[in-house]
Amino acid sequence: MSEMIGWQFECANTTCLPFSTATVSNIRQCRINCLAQVQCKAVSFHQSTSECELFANISNGNINMLANAVIITMIVIDTTQTPLDKYAIANTSSVFKVDLLVHNIIVHLIIIDHHIHFVIVGTKLSNYLLENVNAHKKCKCHHIKIHHHTQLNTTVKKIAENLQNYKNLFWMGELCIGTPPQCFNVNFDTGSSDLWIPSMTCNSISCSHFTHRFDASKSSTYKNLTNKTMFEITYGDASSVSGYIGIDTVLINGLAIQNQRFAQIISAQGFDDPINSRMDGICGLGFKSISNSHMLPLIFMLWYQDLIDQPIVSFWLDPDPKHKRGGEIMFGGVDPKYFEGDMIFVNVTQQQKLAWQIRLDGIYAGNLNLCDGGCEALIDSGTSWILGSYTGIRRFQELVPDLSIPSSFSMGYIDCSRASSLPNLTFVIGGERLTLTSTQYVYSMENPSNNEIVCSPALIKIDAVAENGKPLWVLGDTFMSHYYTSFDLRKRRIGFAKSISISK
């Protein structure tokens, strides 16, 4: 039987052996128990006994999911695939298909012992469901019930968190862990998938620069993993952290996420810069496939625990650090008041090891294409600038004869009176042209050699190539602060729309 995340399967006890059994109040709690166990791949919940079983693997021997009348419901928790819609039923050789996104009606499938129950809103699909189930040759269930609910709950579940803009270098938001909550300023990073904060036991020099540190002994809901799983990660700027994984309640804007795994850092390198000292940790918002700890990212936990409607995270980044409110991160959808026009959507191109990577049809400095033949780009909220290929950035620098370039990796400096003469940068994404003017990608800063104020384009060379051989760029906060950006984990796509500037 093929594994699919996010929907209910059946499995005979003779071929699926649980590694753990517990009594819980409902199937949601059973699923949460599974998320807290790194080896757990699926769960079963017995309605009559309230028994929750956790499974490390799923037998391929049960081809027919609905054939055995004494089977139990199984929910597949985790594979490398993105979750299916919670209200869609997969079309396989042994399950009929109901495409509820087309019919726009919510349908829940519940299998209890010998019975299949559909709970639907409205009557439109009643005959459709009965015809499909009764016609299905392999379904030997004794009874089928359809329950009708005439009222549809239209409440949209989304969570908004304010962000602080620190000198256009990074944007931070508050995240709290434990009971009572201990709060931290974290960078919400689409370029990684792990959540970490510094521990009270961290003694490295970099840890002394963090403003807040986590004390597990003061949280009544904290749990240690039995094998004390270690964690380490190195980022693109060569900074690194290491520690061990724990489990606790995480709060975002007061909303509690139960049994979230996170890393407590006991050693850190590269975070002793005064810039980084403003930040207490990183919350990764990428796919699980790039998680160093194999923990389920926070965005998925929000969705699995029904705290948000969709596994979508969206960013509005205010480019003016003088404003008190530096931006907003929205979990569960988009916030239309921060963008204008329609969003354009492009699918991610990295399908094997999923990342927020898309195709760029072109990058133009004026009329000069900086990536002939197309490029790939990571859309990364954890990167301050725009990182580009050596060839592309060199072409740009040749357009600006007054640009002083002290080193091969430097962005270069120019007299601020000349900054407005730099060409526009246009990124061709999904057939649309998304443009940054020179005032949007050039920043004033202090020249470290003589302390004079100079202007610098936020472009840095990197030596990176995508798996398909195309040059790899990184569009960081310089780009995202002018284009509202929405990351859809279920549909594996990114949406862009022109940001609205709000002066506050």
Residue-wise pLDDT tens digits, 444-481: 877 666 777 888 899 999 989 998 899 999 999 999 99
Angstrom distance (rounded) from CA 92 to CA 458: 49
Q: Which positions ≥6 away from 280 have C-beta within 8 Å?
A: 184, 185, 186, 197, 198, 210, 211, 212, 213
CB atoms within 10 A of CB 417: 8
Angstrom distance (rounded) from CA 256 to CA 253: 9
Angstrom distance (rounded) from CA 259 to CA 264: 15
Among 431, 440, 423, smallest CA distance to 475 is for: 440
DSSP-derived secondary structure letter, 156: -
Quickly list H helices, 364-432.
Answer: 390-398
**Positions marked active-site:** 189, 380
8-149: what CATH class? alpha beta
> What tens-digit pLDDT sequence spans the chain (504 residues)?
233 333 344 444 434 567 778 888 777 777 777 777 767 777 777 766 777 877 776 544 333 333 332 223 334 333 322 333 333 333 332 233 233 322 333 344 433 333 333 333 333 333 444 444 443 333 333 333 333 333 334 456 899 999 999 888 889 999 999 999 999 999 999 999 999 999 999 888 778 778 899 999 999 999 988 677 889 999 888 888 999 999 999 999 989 999 999 999 999 888 776 555 578 999 999 998 888 887 889 998 999 888 998 999 999 999 988 888 899 999 999 999 999 999 999 999 976 678 999 999 999 999 999 998 889 999 999 999 999 999 999 899 888 877 777 655 567 788 888 888 899 999 999 999 999 999 999 988 776 667 778 888 999 999 899 988 999 999 999 999 999 999 999 899 999 999 998 755
Alpha carbon separation from 366 to 299, 429, 435, 438 (Å, rounded)? 38, 16, 10, 11
Angstrom distance (rounded) from CA 345 to CA 314: 13
Query: What is the token pair recorded at 432?
Result: 């649309």
Alpha carbon separation from 40 to 47, 78, 168, 261 (Å, rounded)? 20, 8, 41, 14
Q: What is the pLDDT of residue 203?
A: 82
User: Are 181 and 368 within 8 A, CB to CB?
Assistant: no
Angstrom distance (rounded) from CA 289 to CA 390: 29
Given strand 143-149, what is the order of strands in its sheet? 107-112, 115-121, 143-149
Where in 67-142 does DSSP place strands (E)? Answer: 72-76, 107-112, 115-121
User: Are 295 and 262 within 8 A, CB to CB?
Assistant: yes
Q: Which positions ≥6 away from 226 have C-beta within 8 Å?
A: none
Q: What is the pLDDT of residue 274?
A: 54
Q: What angle do CA 25, 1, 146 make, to 5 degrees?
A: 50
Angstrom distance (rounded) from CA 440 to CA 326: 16
Q: What is the pLDDT of residue 48?
A: 65
Q: What is the pLDDT of residue 331?
A: 97
Q: What is the CA radius of gyration of the chain?
A: 25
Query: What is the token pair recorded at 1?
Result: 């039987």
Domain chopping of the chain, boundaries: 8-149, 159-327, 334-499
Angstrom distance (rounded) from CA 350 to CA 381: 18
Query: What is the token pair recorded at 355?
Result: 């990342």
CB atoms within 10 A of CB 446: 10
The DSSP H or E segment spanning 130 is helix 126-135
CATH superfamily of 334-499: Acid Proteases (2.40.70.10)
Query: What is the token pair recorded at 129?
Result: 């469901």
Torsion region of 441: left, alpha or beta (phi above 0 gives left; psi -120 to 50 gives alpha): alpha
Q: Residue 244 half-sphere exposure, CB side, CA atoms within 13 Å?
A: 12
Q: Which positions ≥6 away from 182 have C-beta within 8 Å?
A: 176, 212, 214, 215, 218, 219
Residue 316's φ and ψ, nearest 5 degrees, are -120, 120
Instruction: Report the 3 state secondary structure along 432-461.
Output: EEEEECHHHHEEEEECCCCCCEEEEECEEE
Q: What is the pLDDT of residue 504?
A: 52
Angstrom distance (rounded) from CA 460 to CA 388: 6
AA letter at 161: E
Angstrom distance (rounded) from CA 385 to CA 372: 22
Is the fold of 159-327 the same as that of 334-499? Answer: yes
- pTM of the model as a whole: 0.72
Angstrom distance (rounded) from CA 284 to CA 397: 33
Task: State pLDDT tens for residues 376-396.
Answer: 999 999 999 999 999 999 899
Q: What is the pLDDT of residue 377?
A: 97
159-327: which CATH number, 2.60.120.200, 3.20.20.370, 2.40.70.10, 2.40.30.130?
A: 2.40.70.10
Q: Which positions ≥6 away from 138 have C-beta within 8 Å?
A: 64, 66, 67, 94
Query: What is the token pair recorded at 60?
Result: 């391929």
